Structure 1
């Protein structure tokens, strides 16, 4: 049986995302969840907005539940989209960027990262840094 995505891997993802947040000068709330959407690692940098705590966790959870980025879900959930209104289901899904699934080389989604506290572009940039660290570590 292959090793599961656990705390060590989650901390690696979290650390890379924290480094990117420091690099761009935007304090962030960063959550990493397992394949069931359960929190494995979290950090709130000094100065990150408090609202971002819940939003980061929900972004990560949304990405794992839907198997896509929250940015992609937002496009599908736009008025007239095939998933319009989905954000009110499952306890409240997030439909703007900053949540990204973490997939192994074979395509199996094993976790997700969610980032909040900057603007959407900053959130995506920091989340992507965590994904890239996961990809390098898993690959």
Structure 2
């Protein structure tokens, strides 16, 4: 039998606080979503001024990053390079930059998805949150 690490509520709160701090430092109104390794929502936080639709986009980006075990931007790049048939991939909808997997010793334990500003800035917020795990 194998064992695996999982995110604790304390981990999730630490990630969320660091991501929020990064967004606030730049005055970026974003939504932050954190999911487990199966893409199930553990945390959703919409900062003041974030567009309502970002509360749908951020979890989708996180879900995609968790299930794919890679940044959601990879799927955006594949599609932008002409492989539009990838849009029909089942169960993943957040194929935009801003979803980042949380990797621990080579294993994906979850992901952070951020939406609300430029995609690379969304990813910056997500990565700042993940960095708080050490």
TM-score by shorter chain over 0.5: yes
- Alignment pair present for 1:131 and 2:130: yes
Deviation at 1:92, TM superposition (A): 4.3
Aligned partners of 2:69, 2:5: CA distance in 1, in Å?
20
Q: For residues 47-81 of structure 1, what are the alpha-carbon distances to aligned partners after superposition, in whole Å with 9 as ceiling and x for unaligned?
A: 10000000000000000111110112211233434
Kept in 1, the 8 Å contact 2:63–2:92? The answer is no
Shift of 1:86: 2.2
Structure 1 consecutive aligned stretches of length 4 or more whose deviation exceeds 3 Å: none
Tell me the equivalent position of 1:75: 77
- What's the TM-score once normalised by structure 2's chain length? 0.90
Distance 1:3 1:30 in 2: 22
Partner of 1:12: 14
Q: Structure 2 CA distance, aligned partners of 1:58 and 1:51?
A: 11
Count of aligned positions? 132
C-alpha RMSD over aligned residues = 1.5
Task: Tell me by how many angstroms 1:91 deviates.
Answer: 3.7
| Greater displacement, 20-29 / 119-128 | 119-128
Structure 2 SS opposite 1:49: coil
Stretches of structure 2 lacking an aligned partner (at least 5 in a row)? none
Give CA deviations for 1:84-130 in whole Å, capped at 9, x if unaligned: 432333244222210000001x1110000000011112211111101
Instruction: Label 1:96 to 1:115 Cα distance change in 2 as closer, same or farther (>3 A).
Output: same
Q: What corresponds to 1:34 in structure 2?
A: 36
Contact 2:103 2:110 in 1 (8 A): yes
Give the TM-score, by structure 1 length: 0.87
Distance (whole Å) between structure 1 residues aligned to residue 79 and residue 122 of structure 2: 19
State the match for 2:103 in structure 1.
103
Q: Give 5+ residue unaligned stretches, structure 1.
A: none
